[in-house]
Structure 1
Amino acid sequence: MFEDIDATLTPIIGPKGVAALYRRSLFLCMSTHPDYAERYKGLAAAMNLTQLRSLLSEQEKTDAVMFSEQLLKTFYELLATLIGRSLAARLLLDVWGNFLSGPAPQDTPQ
């Protein structure tokens, strides 16, 4: 989802703006959940989504899902604080829609 968020927001707030929101979101997640701090401290240096994906894959599924959800929620809340909830929701509507719709169903041979 962060790849889609990055692609959606970069033309509007620029790559540095998206990266700054991402880093701030990480910092806030780690400060409110100290158990995340040790595991994810290496992510704060840059918006490296490959590294995030790799670290999440090393965690227990429950922990990875909880951290991912918290990170996305924090990112959205920061964005909403800056530009308002309505605009943030409109900007990310396609991202949420693509995520919630899931992959396209496969045709099954009959």
Structure 2
Amino acid sequence: MPCYRCGARQTDPDRGPSPWRRGVRADRQVLICPGCQRGRDWARELDHCTTCGATMLVCRLGEVECRACGQVRAVERAPETPVSPSDSPGLSEEVAAALSRLLGSDPTP
């Protein structure tokens, strides 16, 4: 899943926890890359818990749960259709490069 602000794709950290942050925006789970976290109050753009005001929300199976206070609510609207790989520019090139690195071969015919 890419960063919802800039579209950067998440990569695995070298060591330790990921610097990426999760949140919920418009009842959809989103990721925020380290670059978009710098110099902005990005938490204002996220959904907040209606009980405690926290942004530590997770969205799953038609409901949103607050990790701070445990409040669970139903998603207010139907989730949007997921983005298909053909809608993501450059994804096929990224997959081809990853396969090339993994298999040690040229993926082009």
* Structures share fold, TM-score greater than 0.5: no
- Structure in which a larger fraction of residues adopt helix: 1
Question: Which category of TM-score, normalised to the shorter sequence, fits these structures?
Answer: under 0.3
Larger radius of gyration: 2
- Structure in which a larger fraction of residues adopt strand: 2
Higher RCO, Cα 8 Å, sep 6+: 1
